[in-house]
């Protein structure tokens, strides 16, 4: 399998990290998450198309795990500009480990983190300011007892909890000025059972995530 060296020329870029190492739970599709068919188009193609339309200067980092060989081969053939991070321990870890690995491969930039099974649009990843951290609430999602929602006051996140009406779109944004601190905090975690939302709850008071509301964020079925 070929390896690539990606040269980054522009210092004013945005990182987009897609976390897609976990097993594909879509019924009837035994493929990597990114290769899931969504209305005749592969999920990863749709995701990258939206990112390309949203941001000109960007670095896309894609975390793979389950069925990684087929996913990596597809990316080499179709999206060679995307950097791949492989979480070989995806069966015993969770998306926070994929995020940690991805951050360690990223440069200090504004960074948007997206769960890899999400269908989103330009409005979902276009934020009101590049100076504050944001977390995305999707306003078109039916709340379920086991779904994660956002508890917030005055448009500032308090915590993420199960069964809350304000559904978390599983997208969040870290500005350049907080990147190194964010990466350091993840690398210094001593509890392996933390998930991404646990970690966000841990730093929520300090970071003061602003709520970004967006329609049409869906999980592929």
What are 150's strand-pairing partners? 160
Does residue 17 contact residue 103 with C-beta atoms inside 8 Å?
yes
Report the predicted TM-score, pTM, of the whole model to 2 decimal places: 0.91
pLDDT at 2: 47
pLDDT, mean over the chain: 89
Q: What is the mean pLDDT of residues 147-171?
A: 93
What are 19's strand-pairing partners? 63, 115
Q: 145 or 37: whose pLDDT is higher?
A: 37
Domain 14-219: CATH architecture, name and number where available: Alpha-Beta Complex (3.90)
Q: What is the mean pLDDT of residues 34-48?
A: 93
Decide if pLDDT at 126 tops 80: yes
Q: What percent of the chain has pLDDT over 90?
A: 74
Domain boundaries, the chain: 14-219
Radius of gyration of the chain (CA): 16
pLDDT at 9: 52
């Amino acid at each position: 399998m070929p390896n690539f060296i990606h040269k980054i020329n522009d210092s004013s870029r945005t990182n987009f990290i897609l976390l897609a190492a976990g097993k594909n739970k879509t019924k009837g599709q035994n493929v990597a998450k990114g290769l899931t068919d969504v209305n005749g188009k592969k999920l990863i193609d749709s995701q990258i198309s939206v990112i390309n339309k949203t941001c000109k200067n960007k670095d896309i980092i894609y975390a793979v795990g389950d069925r990684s060989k087929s996913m990596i081969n597809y990316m080499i053939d179709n999206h060679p500009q995307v950097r791949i991070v492989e979480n070989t321990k995806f069966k015993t870890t969770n998306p926070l480990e994929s995020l940690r690995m991805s951050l360690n491969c990223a440069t200090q930039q504004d960074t948007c983190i997206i769960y890899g099974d999400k269908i989103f649009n330009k409005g979902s990843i276009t934020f009101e300011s590049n100076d504050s951290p944001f977390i995305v609430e999707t306003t078109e999602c039916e709340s379920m007892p086991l779904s994660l929602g956002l508890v917030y006051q005055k448009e500032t996140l308090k915590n993420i909890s199960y069964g809350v009406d304000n559904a978390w779109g599983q997208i969040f944004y870290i500005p350049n000025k907080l990147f190194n601190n964010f990466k350091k905090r993840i690398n210094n975690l001593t509890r392996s059972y933390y998930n991404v939302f646990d970690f966000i709850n841990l730093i929520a008071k300090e970071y003061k995530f602003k709520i970004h509301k967006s329609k049409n964020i869906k999980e592929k079925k």
